[in-house]
Amino acid sequence: MSNFTIYPAIDMRGGNCVRLIQGDYNQETVYGDSPFDMAKSFASQGAEWIHMVDLDGAKAGGRINDSYVIQAAKELGANIQIGGGIRTEADVVHYLERGIERVILGSAAVSDPGFTKTMLGKYGKHIAIGIDAKDGKVATHGWLQTSETTAIELGKALADEGAEVFIVTDIATDGMLSGPNVEGIVAMAEATGKGVIASGGISSLKDLITLKEYQNQGVIGAIVGKAIYTNRFTVKEALEKVRD
């Protein structure tokens, strides 16, 4: 089992680093005006992975803030995973050819299962499936729509198609600093038999320790955003806390 990985998050909108509350574009806080500088700061604290999201892209359905992502992949020693607005194979290739380690398919995983299956077949471990759940159902398109599919159903179907990594966000907890939905995350890991990265609600080092306890069940990491930006703890402290 690989180490439990911390993924400090950079959500990009209008060229800024922002955080939304429960995915609401009207509840935005700006935490910096340079996504690259933020990524550099995380890498300098020892982050081996950085999670970047193109919020403008997620809403528009195409790449918008990709230049920051590519610069981070090129100039920093960290692995980058990117989500938001990735709807075509050209989008996937655009990132992978420029040194991005992992591309996240979110809305496309629900709206275009055939495309997702093809991408998993071609690019394997470089594809992560982002499943955003609201009351157990899958939400898509920047969380603006909710489908009838349950998160677990989607996870199982895509694991059968070759998905190895899932990023599970519980919208109810995202940006709320209320603690992660541990039960939902572990349920996904157990249902799929694959690696699950927890996202949403992490507010303390204790939350990270709790999630790490389920490492053997397949919880392989956690995405941390607002807790870092509001100085609950640093990336360095988080990495030290979960080190084996």
Classified as helix, coil or strand, 134 is strand
pLDDT tens, residue by residue, 173-220: 777 888 899 999 999 999 999 999 999 999 999 999 999 999 999 999
pLDDT tens, residue by residue, 90-134: 999 999 999 999 999 988 888 898 999 999 999 999 999 999 888
Q: Which residues contact 4 (CB under 8 A, 6 or more apart)?
A: 211, 212, 215, 219, 220, 221, 222, 242, 244
Question: What whole-number distance in Å separates Cα of residue 131 and Cα of residue 199?
Answer: 10
Say whether 11 is catalytic.
yes
Alpha-carbon Rg for the chain in angstroms = 16
Which of 54, 56, 66, 132 is an active site residue? 132
Average pLDDT over residues 146-153: 86
Which of 11, 54, 174, 207 is an active site residue? 11
Question: What whole-number distance in Å separates Cα of residue 125 and Cα of residue 4?
Answer: 17
Q: Quick one: pLDDT at residue 185?
A: 96
What tokens does 130 get?
A: 């982002």
pLDDT tens, residue by residue, 58-85: 889 899 999 999 999 999 999 999 999 9
Classified as helix, coil or strand, 16 is strand
Say whether 174 is catalytic.
no
User: What is the rounded average pLDDT for all residues in the chain?
Assistant: 93
Higher pLDDT, residue 191 or 143: 191
What tokens does 97 get?
A: 């050819």
Confidence class of residue 141 from pLDDT cuts 50, 70 and 90? low
